[in-house]
Amino acid sequence: MSGQGYQGKKNIPRITSDRLLIKGAKIVNDDQSFCADIYMEDGHIKQIGENLIVPGGVKTIDAHGRMLMPGGIDVHTRFQMPDRGMTSVDDFYQGTRAALAGGTTMIIDHVVPEPGASLLSAFEQWREWADSKSCCDYSLHVDITEWHKGVQEEMEALVKDHGVNSFLVYLAYKDVFQLTDSQVYEVFSVIRDLGAIAQVHAENGDIVAEEQRRILEQGISGPEGHVLSRPEEVEAEAVNRSVTVANQTNCPLYITKVMSKSAADVIAQARKKGTVVYGEPITASLGTDGSHYWSKNWAKAAAFITSPPLSPDPTTPDYLNSLLSCGDLQVTGSAHCTFNTAQRAVGKDDFTLIPEGTNGTEERMSLIWDKCVVTGKMDENQFVAVTSTNAAKIFNLYPRKGRIAVGSDADLVLWDPDVTKIISAKSHNSNQEYNIFEGLEVRGAPLVVISQGKIILEEGSLHTTEGCGRFIGRKPFSDYVYKRIKARSRLAELRGVPRGLYDGPVCEVSVTPKTMTPASSAKTSPAKQAAAGGQPVRNLHQSGFSLSGAQIDDNLPRRNTQRIVAPPGGRANITSLG
Amino acid sequence: MAERKLLPRDNDEGSLLSKLGTDSPKPRVKFGGMFCNVEGAFENKTLNFDSYNSIQTEPRPSGMGLIFVPHCSVSSLCLQADRLIIKGGKVVNDDQSFYADIYVEDGIIKQIGENLIVPGGVKTVDAYGHMVIPGGIDVNTSLQAPQLGMCPADDFYHGTRAALAGGTTMIIDHVVPEPGASLLGAYDQWRDLGDRRSCCDYSLHMDITRWHDGLFEELESLVKDKGVNSFLIFMSYKDKFQSSDSQMYEMFSIIRDLGAIAQVHAENGDIIDEEQKRLLELGITGPEGHVLCHPEEVETEAVYRAITIAKQANCPLYITKVMSKSAADVIAKARKKGMVVYGEPITASLGTDGSHHWSKNWAKAAAFVMSPPINPDPSTPEYLSSLLSCGDLQVTASGNSTFSTAQKAVGKDNFTLIPEGTNGIEERLAVVWEKAVATGKMDENEFVAVTSTNAAKLFNLYPRKGRIAVGSDADIVIWNPKETRTLSATTHTLTVEINIFEGMEVRGAPVVVISQGKIVLEDGKLDVTEGSGRFVPRKAYPDYVYKRIKARSRMADARGVPRGNYDGPVHDVISMTKSVPATPTSRMPQFPGKGPLGPARNLHQSGFTLSGTQIDDHIPRRSAQRIVAPPGGRTNITTLS
């Protein structure tokens, strides 16, 4: 499996420091911890064990019994994210640098095609940006911002040829990205057939739009309006709805950015009922709360703007950490998407214009260690699971990523559980002026970070190489997710009841009793229709529900098997079982 | 009069014939102010017709019993059995039971107590050993709602007749206007039908089948002038009745402002539509397809969503037809969180399950088709009756809308065309008694609450309806809890060929049913009068519902944070990098009206705009203070306005 997906030019660096020996480490995987030495070469782990026989002159790190874990995988970043002509201040270089500084050795970024633009060209664009700038391995999710037949073909191409196995749909951002339930249903069906994973930005965009209008009308224009217009229930509702649609389509579901207790509860409950659904709390929701939206300092309040918003309930982080520890939530991301204050100030008189996103890629590992492991909610193995292994499994990177094993990529973190640091905008690696965790004291930090077999962080100094990150293609039908889905698909065959033909009297339906105006058939997604250059988005999929009353044809039997010779008058009957 | 059905009338044909042509189009005295019953209840408003007593027949004093109807000739022997005394029964209200006699006059309960002093010659009804309960109120019927152009097999006349036979003395029917048609027009049509055909008092819910701006005035006039205080919104029936979430939010806000109650038909129409397509493609065309494409989660999801929207809009919510366990659970949970939400299981969901959809007999399977479907899980009725007993669900209805087998057969090759609806109007009280009281889940008082009182309170009919008290309407049922019957299509009062409760044995049955002070069921004989039912208007702001809503409205004012103006640097936004459809710029304060045939979704402009005309933004919304010399790039706290 090694060597898969090496994308051309990234193979160049063949420097001598490619060989590395770590001695006396306590190796922590998601299932067990053990003490061993580890030898890596060419970016791969070659040997694990004691008394390894290694070539001479190898650089050796003495771990002194410290924990060595698989590097973190940040499954949700939005580096270099364009928003109305602005670009988020952390591009792929700055962003991945921050990630590496925090112990994360791989990110999965979101490609956001503009509505109307091609998915493939957006994907290429992101590839280009990331290949030239990324300092660590990366992969890409693709967001579905509109829905029509062409999108389906592009999705197929992305899955089959470009190593994308996850697509995000938006239930929010009305009239911009939002899809209707029917569209979501169709997208999910396509995703399941392709073997990919459906991700959902879960907020009810209709309600949010109405609330925004109401709150602006009340004269509330500051950042607190953002959280007031996006109450917790709106998130929980959308999560519930997407779980329902996913159940119907038998599609694996992944909820990005779980920000509130009730949304997490909905996920936990759905999992209890057997739905294949995963929840991703982010650094922000695990580490801080939304009370800062009411800060008198506009710039500070605006820095917390993200969607779904941070819950103002101060007990939320603790609750989400508990659910993360008990397995009800599985993966952590950062949703790192930063804008500086001047950019945010675009919305200084109207909170709906404030660009959204918070930092967190650098802080993610330390914060979870501090909130979960130090407090005793989880052990170090679970820590590895939620920061790395689960993500690798879900997105089909395992065991190349997310595990310390012979043959796996040499993305490793030597973790120091005792060090204490204070998070601050002054010392962080992001370009943003504000850090939403400002002043938070966390225990646990990476001591050494190794990415692709090279030491990136050592003794507090960061040595990153712009553009050395490789794109990691991900195959569809990830075992971890699709085993159950496949079994259910086999079981879910629906069967009709074999009955004789009904041959009693049939009431005549007058033709066109309900005159359906043409408008009503366009009711589902007219916004999109009007929008996307007149592509008739919805009509492609003809409704199966017809009201025109041409029932004369109905007598032509669909299954023209047996007909009763002498039907007994007005009685409904059981006749031959076809 | 010619089209009038001859009733199984045991007394003289002579009087029947003599009345031909006399009382046909009843001039209905519409009583000016709504709901003035109780205050005027103690006046004796009828003429004294003592001399004609002892023959109990129709017609009742029309309107609110204002005056003697002029054209009602003497030979028709009007207004006779208006006086009744019910003796020896156990009076059961929702709060307590006690033994007392009840004296009824002019359709109103005049006295309750022992040893009442009543005029001579009053008919006495013996209720010894029985319970005397307020007549049932069936809050959800669709007796006239056409589907595919077909009217239900049982219309207002047959439906209310069956209702009375089962102990229900008032119904609230749904007005279903054609999408796009005027609500008031549909209302008038239903009123006309109801006034002519109904045999018991009735009231009307209004269904909003397509939302647009112009409907606001109609809603207002319905609430203020027409006595409608509840509106049903469909989350299902895509491309036909379905409303989007934005539309629901707007409607909920308006409904709250009008003091009405939002009802919801809760199913996710989008998913159903997709599932229907899929199933038809799979070749499943029989009635089982109906259940398969309306899975339980789809109902639950919609209930959840409706509750979320109602919470945001602070609007009281009423879920019609709770058919599944999980939907009921969502309601119960929301109530625990303090939501003002009510759930209505129906006779079908309490009495039977959906396994019959798989019946080999097409006609039988089709008879069960309704939406949301009767749940195939056989434990559902038990569960729902438990929730009904513990108060998590509050009201029972029938959802009665019956179609004959020939009508259902329109969908014989495509289940999506089968007209939806089941019977249940007649069986409701007996089914609830059997499932909940006979099994010990609830007592008789709770029985009265869920079959009558709660509905009356919710829809602002209380205490005129739903209670046995002096001044209330004399809609009374004498209930024999011991009688056992078997429900069957051969014995039921409706005209449909199939009864979905066929063969079910129930305990409890009405012995005597009194509607508007007149005996309509006695000794197993039904004696109803077509057109005798009055429209009962309902006022807005029912106390039972709106006390909490009002308090929350006062509390719910969101307040902004007073901050100084931000005067740091502002990033330049290139306008229109994201070419967004035409919608965004106009952030209309009101939802703009519907275009002529307009695409339904664009109506509600997004509050989220990406077009970048931020130059205007400097024109301060709050033009309070500006800093004279802003300190360069620093963000700051300045004046706190």
B467-499, pLDDT tens digit by residue? 999 999 999 999 999 999 999 999 999 999 999
Q: How far is CA B277 from CA A64, B237, B272, in A?
A: 64, 14, 9
Contact B298 A244 (CB under 8 A): yes
Give the mean model confidence (pLDDT) for residues A540-546: 43
B208-261, pLDDT tens digit by residue? 998 888 889 999 999 999 999 999 999 999 989 999 999 999 999 999 999 999
Give the mean model confidence (pLDDT) for residues A167-190: 93
Contacts of A295 in chain B (CB under 8 A): 561
pLDDT score of B52: 40
A280-336, pLDDT tens digit by residue? 999 999 999 999 999 999 999 999 999 999 999 999 999 999 999 999 999 999 999
Q: Is the pLDDT of residue B35 over 70?
A: no
Q: Copy the structure tokens of residue B232.
A: 């049903």
pLDDT score of A509: 77
Contact A558 B283 (CB under 8 A): yes
Grade residue B103 by pLDDT with cuts at 50, 70 and 90.
very high
Interface test with B, best of A169, A170, A174, A300 (most B CBs within 10 A): A174
pLDDT score of A500: 79
Q: Is the pLDDT of residue B610 over 80?
A: no
Q: Which of B304, B417, B563 comes nearest A298 by C-beta?
A: B563
The Cα of B520 is separated from the nearest Cα of chain A by a number of Å equal to: 33
Question: What is the percent of chain B where pLDDT is above 90?
Answer: 64
The Cα of A122 is separated from the nearest Cα of chain B by a number of Å equal to: 13
Task: Tell me the pLDDT of chain B averaged across its residues.
Answer: 80
Contact A181 B271 (CB under 8 A): yes
Contacts of A186 in chain B (CB under 8 A): 274
Task: Please list, in sequence order, all residues whose beta carbon lies within 8 angstroms of the beta carbon of residue A389, skipping any fewer than 6 positions away.
Answer: A29, A30, A70, A398, A402, A403
Contacts of A515 in chain B (CB under 8 A): 178
CA distance A537 to A559: 33
Q: Is the pLDDT of residue A52 over 80?
A: yes
CA distance B148 to A94: 63
pLDDT score of A56: 84
Interface test with B, best of A81, A250, A494, A516 (most B CBs within 10 A): A494
Tell me the β-bridge partners of A500. none
Look up the ipTM and state it.
0.73
Task: Please list, in sequence order, all residues whose beta carbon lies within 8 angstroms of the beta carbon of residue A487, skipping any fewer than 6 positions away.
Answer: none
**Exposure class string for A89-118: b at 16+ Cβ within 10 A, else e:** bbbbbbbbbbbbbbbbbbbbbbbbbbbbee
Question: What is the percent of chain B where pLDDT is above 70?
Answer: 76
The Cα of B596 is separated from the nearest Cα of chain A by a number of Å equal to: 9
pLDDT score of A33: 92
Q: Measured on CA atoms in the order B406, B411, B416, B417, is the torsion positive or negative?
A: negative
Contact B604 A516 (CB under 8 A): no
B66-102, pLDDT tens digit by residue? 333 344 333 334 445 578 999 999 999 999 999 999 9
Check: CB of residue B427 under 8 Å from CB of residue B166: yes
Q: Is the pLDDT of residue B363 over 50?
A: yes
Contacts of A494 in chain B (CB under 8 A): 279, 282, 284, 292
Q: Which of A429-433, B54-58, B194-198, B278-282 has the lowest mean pLDDT?
A: B54-58
Q: Which of B281, B288, B579 comes nearest A497 by C-beta?
A: B288
Q: Which of B178, B249, B286 comes nearest A210 by C-beta?
A: B249
Nearest residue of B to residue A570, measured between CA atoms: B406
Number of separate helices (H) and strands (E) present in chain A: 18, 18
Q: Which of A218, A296, A545 comes nearest B273 by C-beta?
A: A545
Q: Is the pLDDT of residue B172 over 80?
A: yes
The DSSP code sequence of A511-540 is: SSSS---HHHHT-SSHHHHHHTTT--TTTT
A214-273, pLDDT tens digit by residue? 999 999 999 999 999 999 999 999 999 999 999 999 999 999 999 999 999 999 999 998
Q: Is the pLDDT of residue B28 over 80?
A: no
pLDDT score of B586: 30
Residue B370: what residue type? Answer: M
pLDDT score of B570: 84
**Three-state DSSP class for residue A137:** strand
Contacts of A190 in chain B (CB under 8 A): none
* Strand pairing report for B230-234 and B261-265: parallel
**Three-state DSSP class for residue A84:** coil
Interface test with B, best of A87, A229, A244 (most B CBs within 10 A): A244
pLDDT score of B55: 40
pLDDT score of A504: 82
pLDDT score of A17: 58
pLDDT score of B574: 64
Number of A/B CB contacts below 8 angstroms equals 372
CA distance A216 to A210: 10
pLDDT score of A510: 65
Nearest residue of A to residue B290, measured between CA atoms: A496
Nearest residue of A to residue B270, measured between CA atoms: A182
B439-473, pLDDT tens digit by residue? 999 999 999 999 999 999 999 999 899 999 999 99
Contact B364 A296 (CB under 8 A): no
Q: Which of A345, A518, A522 comes nearest B568 by C-beta?
A: A345
Q: Is the pLDDT of residue A173 over 50?
A: yes
Q: Measured on CA atoms in the order B617, B623, B628, B630, is the torsion positive or negative?
A: negative
Task: Tell me the pLDDT of chain A averaged across its residues.
Answer: 85
Of A283 and A18, the structure prediction assigns the larger pLDDT to: A283
B565-606, pLDDT tens digit by residue? 888 888 877 654 334 343 333 333 333 333 333 344 444 444
* Strand pairing report for B97-99 and B476-486: unpaired
Of B589 and A110, the structure prediction assigns the larger pLDDT to: A110
Q: Which of A115, A221, A496 comes nearest B283 by C-beta?
A: A496
Contacts of B276 in chain A (CB under 8 A): 544-545
Q: Which of A248, A299, A529 comes nearest B295 by C-beta?
A: A248
